[in-house]
Every structure is written in structure tokens, then in C-alpha cells.
């Protein structure tokens, strides 16, 4: 039900063009037939226990390999694209035309300088290990058989999130760089709704996707672990924060103790959720608003879901003052279920063990498909849904808020993590624009975000009422939904999915 029931539909959004490079990256004009997923990147993975000072350039790498023979491995130009990327980067580094090669268009004249560079590569290869493919490089790194090697960044993070690569292995980009390539979602020729898919691509250029919370956290955690500029400490809590002469002093302590130590910095970004201590200091608006809704959640393995109830899509069953949403996760190996109902009960937290009797009291007369799914759950976790009123000011001096600390919202639009991610991108851009005036950068970030996030907060409440309608209201809702075309649906969500 990704529709906007309260706002008039808008004119069709202007088509967002692909870059010329992206259009032609597959050797043909793919505009209108594929959706960009991401641009892949190759980097050097290295064992921090074996390499204390990783090379920053190809020249430094060449010297390191001479001093540490057979400790660097890659898969050549026939064993996978990470090897090809490494070799192309080698050509960049060892010819006088790197800038022309990187920026294009390709000039055949540049090839004249390649022979000398490739001869140098042949000498380099005498001291390296040729690995059996992209996965082979990662395997050998995991076993400690090599200390360094080029890997696809997305593949590396996937392996690390799955526990196949230890956290002591990190990434390094070396100059002048190694080329990646665009990755795409495609519309299969035999897709059941190919035209609908093409229209979605033309409109939004991004997919609708769901992901396991742990998987998203793992990507962010691994990025922190692989950045030497980040110190990560999850054992402390913010007790107090005071700004003093352009610096922010933060008092830290444990959950059951007072302040234990103080740290200082140029700015403080409070990303500490709906119960934010930082928000108390700069907004001071008290406790969150209790919505009167409770969510029960559980995850089933694929084998536990009857075939006739399995759906590859996000499915929402709307009932009177209740709803159930379910969808697959982790390439279809898991099935996530979230059941929501109205209740005056309130327990702080988001991971409390739930009493199934509460659930059955509200879902007893629901559709048989819903009941059959609910019956398969033995243990539920619950959280009471809370939010806050939208605010315009969440920055003060060198302190600002981000995500739920700034704009906590109900889950009915499934946008909490998305809005926090958008916040982070916007904040990074504004700080990059004004690195010497952080208060101005934080105000510019807040100004760019508050209306969008406030709209999502308000509309999430509207959707909750929309999903949980009963009686005549539910009949009118159903009548309105039946009359909508797919283009109407796209118009209704354009404000949310059409861009930041």
C-alpha cells in the first residue's frame, strides 16, 4: 500500500537520465531497460597483522612485493575482473597517459606505451601468487596464505558480514586507482510485468528493496572498522555534553554508572535514537509520544513457510486496528513477519519478549492466511511504537542530531533507516562545503532536511490510520485503492521515492 491517501496526485516525474558512460557500459545503449544498482570498486585488501603500513601507490606496492615475495596475490587478467581492474590500474600508474585513460575517450595512441608497462608487470608477477579467481583471492586472504590482494569491495564486505573474512583484514585504495564497472538491475524479457518494471526504472532509477537489520548494520560496522580515522566504542553511553569555546566536551559512562571519562571534539552528532540524551540537551522536549500501537516481530526459516503462503514480495494484510506484513530476507532464506495492533500497554525498549496471548486477542477473527502464518511462530519479540512531533530546529552551535534522535517516526512507511541514511549523506555534503564553519554547516543540513523528514513523520501516522481503518472508513479505503492505476500509485509515492 505504498500510496498517499491524503495528497493529490502529481504530474508524472521528469525522467532521470543515465550518464553517457552508464548507458554504454554494457556495450549497448541500455537506457530504459536497466536500473543502476551501484558502481563497483576494486581495492587492496590486507591483513593488519601482517602489513603494518600498507602501500598507498603502485610504486610503493611494487617495492613492498620485492621485499615480501609471494605475500601478494591476485587473479591475473583471466581469472576475474578484480585482476583485470588491478592490471588496468597498473597501466594507469606506469604510463604517461593515466589522465587520458581514466577520463576517456579511449585513444589508440596511448597503447604505444603499454609494452614497457606490461614488461614491468611481468617482472612484478615473478614475486606474486596468482590466485584462482576473485573468490580465490579472498579465500587465500582468509587462510593467511597471502597478506594482500585486490578484491571487489562489495564482495569483500559480503564475505566479512558472513564471517568468512576476519575483521583484521581491511581495505586500502591505492593511487592512481583501479577502475570498477557499473552493476545493474535488469528487467527480464519474460517478466510477468515487464512494462511496469520499465516504467518504474524510467521514473525512479532505484529499486524498492528490503534488507535484514543485521546485514545493514554489518556494512556500516565493517566500514567503521576499515577506517583508521574512526574509533568505535560501544561500551560507553553519553551522560552529558557541553559546548565550550568552539569545542564539545562529552561525558561518557556505563549504563549503571556516572561519568567515567570525558572526550573532546569539534562537533557532536547525536545519533542516539528516540530516547536521545543529546536531544535532551539541545531540544528538551521530554519523552516521546506513545502511539498506542504495539508491534510483534519474528523470523521464520524458508522451510517453515507453507508454499502457498510464500510470496517473493512485501505483502501487507490490513485489518481493523491491526495489520500483518511479511517479506523474504537474505535471498529468500528467511521470512520476516511483523504484526501490529492497537494497545494501551507500553513497555520501553524494542526487543522485549512478547506474550502471544496479546496477539491472538487482536487477530482472532482475521483471514485464514494470516492465522496460518501467525500459528507458525513460537517466540515473538515486541516493541511499543513511539514518535515525536516534527521540529524545525535540531542543531545548536557545534551539536546536531541525526536519524531517530532528530525525527523519530512510526514504521508505517518503513523509512526510519532510509531517512537516517539520507541525513548522513546530506550532513557529509554540507560539512564538506563549509569545513571551517561547522555551526553554519550543521544549520544548512538541518534546513535541507526538516521539511522532508517532518512530512515522513506525519504521513507515517496517516498510513497507520489508513492500514488500520475499520467499518465505513475501511470500505472507503478499499474503494479508493481499487480505482487506482499503477501510474496513480507512482504519482502517490513520487514525493517519497523521487529523490531527497
Residues 131 and 56 in one domain: yes
pLDDT by residue (tens digit) across 301-338? 999 999 999 998 899 999 999 999 999 999 899 999 99
Question: Which residues, other chains included, contact 116 with Cβ-Cβ below 8 Å and sequence gap of 6+?
Answer: 94, 95
139-177 residue pLDDT tens: 999 999 999 999 999 899 888 878 889 989 999 999 898
Could you tell me if 365 and 316 lie in one domain? yes
* Same-domain status, 262 and 392: yes
Half-sphere exposure of 410 (CA within 13 A, CB side): 23
Residue 352 inside a domain? The answer is yes
Q: Which distant-in-sequence residues (6+ apart) come within 8 Å of 334 by Cβ?
A: 212, 299, 300, 301, 302, 328
| Whether 252 and 296 share a structural domain | no
Beta strands 268-270 and 352-353 are unpaired
122 and 258, same structural domain? no
- pLDDT at position 34, please? 66
Together in a domain, 274 and 403? yes
Q: For the domain that residue 155 is a member of, what is the CATH number?
A: 3.40.190.10
**pLDDT score for 135:** 93
Inside any domain, residue 191: no
Query: pLDDT value at position 9?
Result: 28
* Domain assignment present for 126: yes
Query: Are 293 and 278 in a shared domain?
Result: no
CATH code where residue 280 lies:
3.50.50.60
pLDDT tens for 373-425 read: 999 998 899 988 999 999 999 999 999 999 999 999 999 999 999 999 999 99
**Domain membership flag for residue 254:** yes
- Cα separation, 133 vs 66, in Å, equals 23
Same domain, 113 and 70: yes
Closest CA to 499 of 209, 271, 187, 203: 203
Q: Domain boundary residue among 387, 404, 435?
A: 387
Q: What is the pLDDT of residue 190?
A: 79
- Tell me, yes or no, whether 257 and 375 share the same domain: no
Residue 229 maps to a domain: no
pLDDT of residue 352: 81
Pick the last residue of a domain from 387, 421, 454: 387
Q: Domain range holding 417? A: 237-287+388-468
Q: For position 498, what pLDDT does the model report?
A: 85
Specify whether 64 is located in the same domain as 85.
Answer: yes
**Would you state the pLDDT for residue 7?**
28
Decide which of 172, 198, 224 is a domain's last residue: 172
Here the cell at position 267 is 562537533
The total number of structural domains that make up the chain:
3
Regions of the chain with pLDDT less than 50: 1-16
Specify if 270 maps to a domain.
Answer: yes
Residue 486: inside a domain: no
Same domain, 443 and 383: no
CATH number at residue 306: 3.30.9.30
pLDDT on residue 263: 92
Instruction: Give the whole-angstrom CA distance, residue 285 versus residue 122.
Output: 66
Answer yes or no: do 276 and 396 share one domain: yes
Contacts of 244 (CB under 8 A, 6+ apart): none
- What is the structure's pLDDT at 448? 98
Whether residue 327 lies inside any domain: the answer is yes
Amino acid at each position: 500500500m505504498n500510496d498517499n491517501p491524503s495528497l493529490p496526485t502529481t504530474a508524472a516525474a521528469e525522467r532521470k537520465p543515465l550518464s553517457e558512460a552508464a548507458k554504454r557500459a554494457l556495450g549497448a545503449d541500455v537506457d530504459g531497460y536497466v536500473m543502476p544498482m551501484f558502481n563497483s570498486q576494486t581495492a587492496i585488501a590486507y591483513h593488519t597483522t601482517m602489513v603494518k603500513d600498507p602501500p598507498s601507490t603502485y610504486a610503493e606496492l611494487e617495492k613492498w612485493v620485492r621485499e615480501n615475495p609471494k605475500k601478494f596475490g591476485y587473479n591475473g587478467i583471466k581469472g576475474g575482473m578484480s585482476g583485470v581492474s588491478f592490471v588496468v590500474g597498473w597501466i594507469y600508474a606506469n604510463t604517461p597517459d593515466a589522465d587520458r585513460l581514466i577520463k576517456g575517450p579511449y585513444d589508440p595512441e596511448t597503447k604505444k606505451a603499454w609494452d614497457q608497462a606490461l614488461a614491468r608487470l611481468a617482472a612484478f608477477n615473478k614475486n606474486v601468487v596468482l590466485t584462482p579467481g576473485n573468490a580465490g583471492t579472498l579465500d587465500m586472504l582468509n587462510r593467511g596464505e597471502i597478506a594482500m590482494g585486490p578484491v571487489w569491495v562489495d564482495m569483500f564486505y559480503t564475505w566479512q558480514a558472513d564471517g568468512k573474512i576476519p575483521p583484521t583484514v581491511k581495505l586500502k585504495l591505492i593511487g592512481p586507482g583501479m577502475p570498477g564497472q557499473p552493476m545493474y538491475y535488469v528487467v527480464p524479457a519474460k517478466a510477468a510485468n515487464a512494462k511496469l518494471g520499465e516504467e518504474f526504472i524510467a521514473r525512479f532509477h532505484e529499486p524498492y528493496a528490503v534488507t535484514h537489520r543485521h546485514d545493514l548494520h554489518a556494512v556500516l560496522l565493517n566500514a567503521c572498522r576499515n577506517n583508521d580515522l574512526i574509533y568505535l566504542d560501544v561500551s560507553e553511553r553519553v551522560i552529558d555534553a557541553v559546548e565550550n569555546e568552539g569545542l564539545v566536551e562529552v561525558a561518557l559512562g556505563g549504563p549503571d554508572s556516572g561519568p567515567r571519562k570525558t572526550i573532546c571534539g569539534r562537533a557532536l552528532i547525536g545519533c542516539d535514537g528516540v530516547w536521545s540524551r543529546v536531544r535532551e540537551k539541545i531540544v528538551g522536549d521530554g519523552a516521546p509520544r506513545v502511539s498506542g500501537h504495539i508491534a510483534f516481530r519474528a523470523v521464520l526459516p524458508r522451510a517453515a513457510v507453507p508454499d502457498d503462503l510464500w510470496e517473493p514480495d512485501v505483502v501487507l494484510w490490513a485489518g481493523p486496528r491491526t495489520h500483518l506484513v511479511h517479506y523474504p530476507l537474505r535471498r529468500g532464506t528467511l521470512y520476516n513477519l511483523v504484526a501490529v495492533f492497537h494497545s494501551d500497554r507500553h513497555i520501553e525498549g524494542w526487543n522485549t519478549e512478547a506474550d502471544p496471548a496479546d496477539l491472538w486477542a487482536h487477530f482472532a477473527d482475521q483471514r485464514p492466511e494470516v492465522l496460518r502464518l501467525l500459528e507458525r511462530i513460537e517466540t515473538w519479540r515486541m516493541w511499543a511504537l513511539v514518535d515525536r512531533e516534527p521540529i524545525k530546529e535540531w542543531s545548536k552551535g557545534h551539536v546536531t542530531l541525526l536519524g531517530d534522535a532528530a525525527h523519530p517516526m512510526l514504521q508505517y512507511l518503513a523509512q526510519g533507516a532510509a531517512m537516517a541514511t539520507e541525513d548522513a549523506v546530506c550532513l557529509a555534503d554540507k560539512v564538506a562545503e563549509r569545513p571551517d564553519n561547522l555551526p553554519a554547516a550543521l544549520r544548512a543540513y538541518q534546513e535541507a532536511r526538516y521539511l522532508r523528514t517532518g512530512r515522513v513523520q506525519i504521513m507515517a501516522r496517516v498510513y497507520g490510520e489508513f492500514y488500520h481503518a475499520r467499518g465505513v472508513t475501511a470500505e472507503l479505503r478499499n474503494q479508493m485503492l481499487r480505482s487506482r492505476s499503477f501510474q496513480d500509485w507512482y504519482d502517490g509515492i513520487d514525493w517519497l521515492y523521487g529523490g531527497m
